[in-house]
Structure 1
Amino acid sequence: MAYMIDRYPSEDSPRLGAMTLHPVAESIPRARRWFRKFIAPYDPACSVDDCVLMISELVTNAIVFGRSEDPWLVRVEWFREGDSLRVEVHNPGFPANVRLRRPDANDAHGRGLLLVDSIADSWHSGPSRFGGTVVFFMVDDAWPS
C-alpha cells in the first residue's frame, strides 16, 4: 500500500491525502486506520467515525466490484472543498454498475451505498479520471467558517 498526505493544501491543490490499496480484504481496515490517522491533523468538525464507516463501505464495494484483466489497485483520495470534505474511491469497474439497492431484511448484502446515502450530505458515482469508476461522498460543514 502507498499513501500520501498533503500537509499544506491550497486553492490549486485542495487534496488532503491519498492512498492506494490492493484489492484484498485486509485493505478495508487499513483504509479505515490510515484515513483516521491522516485526517486528524486537519481537525474536521464532522464525524470522523461516520467518514470511516462510509470509506469502509466504498472500499469494500470497490474490491468486490472492481474488474480488470491487469493487476489493479483501489485509490482513495480526500479533499477539502470550501467547508466540505469530499472522499473519492476509485476502481477499474464499470460506472454503470453502481446503483443504490433496497435489500430485503433477510438479504446479507447490498446496504453499503444505502448507508452512504443516509449519512453523507451527498454522493455520486461516474467515470474515474484514472479510468474505471469513482464513487465519492461529500460531508458539508466539515470545517465551518
Structure 2
Amino acid sequence: MTYTIDHYNGQSSARLGAMTLQPAPESVPRARRWFRRFIAPHNPSCSVDDCALMISELVTNAILYGRSDEAWLVRVEWYRDGTSLRVEVHNPGFPASVRMRHPEANDAHGRGLLLVGSIADSWHSGPSRFGGTVVSFVVAEAWPS
C-alpha cells in the first residue's frame, strides 16, 4: 500500500487506505472486511469494530442516497491525522441532503448518522473533492501519542 500525504484543515494527513465500491448492498460487508484487513497493520488502539460499523452505516447511506445519471462508485478513504483516525465516504449525491434524523422507536430506518454521531468524536458532511458528497467521521486518540 502506498502512502499519500493529503491536506485536511491545513494539516498533513497520511492516507492509510482507500477502496472503491459498487453502489450495491453486497458492498457494505465488503467495506467492513477490507477496512479491517487494511487497517490491521497500522495497529490502531481504537475499536476497529466500531469503525467498521460506522463505515457500514455511511456506505449504506451512500448507496441509498447517491445519485448520478452516469455509472458511479462509492469511495472510502481513511487517514491518520496525528493520533486521530479520519474516514471519508464519497458518493455523487447532493451535499445539502445529508442530515441526522431522529426516528421514532418503531421506525425501521434512519439511525445511521445518529449511530455515527454517538460513536465518533465528530462527523462532517459537505461537498466531496470528487464531486457529490463526502461524509466523514473522526475517532480521536486512535493511536497512542
TM-score by length of 1: 0.93
Question: After the TM superposition, which parts of structure 1 deviate over 3 Å for at least 4 consecutive aligned residues?
Answer: 8-13
Read off the aligned partner of 1:43 and give its amino acid letter: N
The aligned counterpart of 1:109 is 109
- Measure, in 1, the Cα distance between the counterparts of 2:64 and 2:110: 12
1:76-126 CA-partner distances (Å, limit 9, x unpaired):
000000000000000000000000000000100000000000000000000
Count residues in correspondence: 140
> Aligned-pair distance for 1:144?
1.6
The aligned counterpart of 2:33 is 33
The aligned counterpart of 1:85 is 85
The answer to whether 1:95 aligns with 2:92 is no
- Measure, in 2, the Cα distance between the counterparts of 1:10 and 1:105: 43
The DSSP-based 3-state class of the residue aligned with 1:38 is helix
The aligned counterpart of 1:121 is 121
CA distance change for structure 1 residues 66 and 10 in 2, over 3 Å: closer, same or farther?
closer
Read off the aligned partner of 1:132 and give its amino acid letter: G
Kept in 1, the 8 Å contact 2:13–2:82? The answer is: no
> Aligned-pair distance for 1:13?
5.8
The aligned counterpart of 1:42 is 42
Deviates most, 12-21 or 46-55: 12-21
What stretches of structure 2 of length at least 5 have no aligned partner? 7-11
> Aligned-pair distance for 1:9?
5.8
CA distance change for structure 1 residues 129 and 10 in 2, over 3 Å: closer, same or farther?
closer
Percent identity over the alignment is 76
The aligned counterpart of 1:133 is 133
The aligned counterpart of 2:24 is 24
- Measure, in 2, the Cα distance between the counterparts of 1:32 and 1:10: 24
- Measure, in 1, the Cα distance between the counterparts of 2:36 and 2:112: 19
The DSSP-based 3-state class of the residue aligned with 1:52 is helix
